[in-house]
Structure 1
Amino acid sequence: MILLHGLFSSAQVNWIKYGTARRLAEAGFTCLLPDLRAHGQSAAPHEAAAYPSDVLARDVAALVAQQGLVDFDLVGFSLGARTAARSVIGGLAPRRLVLAGMGLEGLAGWKGRLDFFRDVIDRFGTIRPGDPAYLSQQFLKGSGVDRVAVRQLLGAMEDTSPAALAAITMPTLVLCGDQDNDNGSADNLAAALPNARRATIPGTHMSCVTRPELGQELVSFLTTDA
């Protein structure tokens, strides 16, 4: 199983810190936990040439090839979910797919999210409580992510038309917190996919990854016959 973390985060924060990876390992999965480019322990170059279009999906494809993976599951949260979807559209064929913390608009309406995150970076350190960007600024501050590098990365992400989602044919779980609408409608995303079901766990976009229900839902979906 490959687990892809969210924006401004890392494998440690999304998957290890709150026990989700441990829960999956206890269920018998071997977990690969990459830090995405410009995040965590991965390189964070500043040069624009390091961020070609769909670079994160290319990185995932390179990981699959390097590890010689044939039978694997792909799980992504937020940015990781966007990356997972783009990876499948680009040709990867996981056994099962999980798009967590993601709605249809987070894939098909990326420009709005791009503008939001660029604003967080550009106003970093000046955003006050009550501003919609405040929590993202505080998370970015705590993560220590290189702001120059991640701003370059944001521009490498492609919009995904609803029609392109037809390529995602494997069993797919669309999983979101009950207070998470950051990336649009998870219901609409599940409806747009050929073979998807919807699941809800407690929490906001930021808090749902701390919940034991996240690991429970992943294990249930990935170990139940389709």
Structure 2
Amino acid sequence: MPSFHHGDVEIAYLDEGDGDPIVLVHGFASSKNVNWVYPTWVSELRKNGFRTIAFDNRGHGDSSKLYDPEDYHIGTMASDITALMDHLAIARADVMGYSLGARMMGILARTRPERVRSGIFGGLGIGLIKGGGPGESVARALEAPSLDDVTDPFGRTFRVFADQTRSDRRALAACLRGSRRLMTEAEVAGIEVPTLIAVGTKDEIAGSAQELADVIPGAEVLNIPNRDHMRAVGDKVYKEGVLRFLSRRP
């Protein structure tokens, strides 16, 4: 598996296929494989003519594990995207993030729009501005001695997921505490790249896709029927909607 260094942090990534580049940014407690390879996103995008790049966020997968929350400031995590693009000599790319990855993409689309050909918010709606998502109860669940010690239902969900993916739970807790910055409505209203917001209709974590679209000029909404936050990731409607969006964007 190839990797590169962004400062002292080693980032593992994959780079497959030819054509217009698209960078995939996974969600919290996930990885490039769990979020993008196993649900066949990488193979589908390659098949449809895209050079597909995905990486493990710092603290996740095969990338460096860090234990200071300051190392996971959302702006720092967003800069890992452009560092990878620079490493691969890619000036501009479509960028799709899921959940935490969508927060990273949103920061990038606002601060470095010249690098983002289009932006896709997966699994994140108005929660980008109004919060939601995992909080301190999840961090405590990740740090608990065992699953039996976790009583919070939300915390148990993420603890089970982290155990299933064999994640470094201490690194994830630090990531959660360090990356929780929200964007303001004014910042989000300043996003000018072509934007798609794709959220499951049963997603109780992301917040309303339409509310976020009402803030971002020209944003499109893709509702993923009958899917919650976890199960929307590999949904056929999600894939088909993203491919349609990518075929139409400038």
TM-score normalised by structure 2 residue count: 0.82
Select which of 132, 137, 150 maps to 1:127. 150
Q: Which moved more, 1:35-44 or 1:137-146?
A: 137-146
d(CA) in 1 for partners of 2:139, 2:68: 17
Select which of 218, 221, 224 maps to 2:242. 218
- Residue 100 (structure 1) aligned with residue 122 (structure 2): yes
* Corresponding residue number in structure 2 for 1:208: 232
Gaps of at least 5 residues in structure 2 are 1-21
Contact 2:113/2:193 (8 A) holds in 1 = no
* Corresponding residue number in structure 1 for 2:83: 62
Q: Which structure shows the higher strand fraction?
A: 2
TM-score normalised by structure 1 residue count: 0.90
Select which of 34, 40, 60 maps to 1:19. 40
Would you identify which runs of 4 or more consecutive aligned residues in structure 1 move more than 6 Å?
none
The AA in structure 2 aligned to 1:156 is: G
d(CA) in 2 for partners of 1:112, 1:178: 16
Select which of 182, 195, 202 maps to 2:218. 195
Query: SS at the partner of 2:214?
Result: helix
Q: What displacement does 1:52 show?
A: 4.6
The AA in structure 1 aligned to 2:42 is: A
Q: What displacement does 1:23 show?
A: 0.8
Aligned length, in residue pairs: 224
Q: How does 1:28-177 map to 2 (within 5 A)?
A: 28-47=49-68, 50-52=71-73, 54-93=75-114, 94-105=116-127, 107-110=128-131, 113-123=134-144, 125=147, 126-127=149-150, 131-157=153-179, 158-177=181-200
Query: SS at the partner of 2:93?
Result: coil
d(CA) in 2 for partners of 1:39, 1:166: 30
Query: SS at the partner of 1:210?
Result: coil
Gaps of at least 5 residues in structure 1 are none
- Distance verdict in 2 for CA 1:185–1:52, change over 3 Å: closer
Query: SS at the partner of 1:95?
Result: strand
Q: What displacement does 1:49 show?
A: 5.7
Q: What displacement does 1:133 show?
A: 2.9
Give the root-mean-square deviation of aligned CA atoms.
Answer: 2.0
Q: What displacement does 1:45 show?
A: 2.3
User: Highest relative contact order (Cα 8 Å, sep 6+), 1 or 2?
Assistant: 1
Contact 1:21/1:215 (8 A) holds in 2 = no
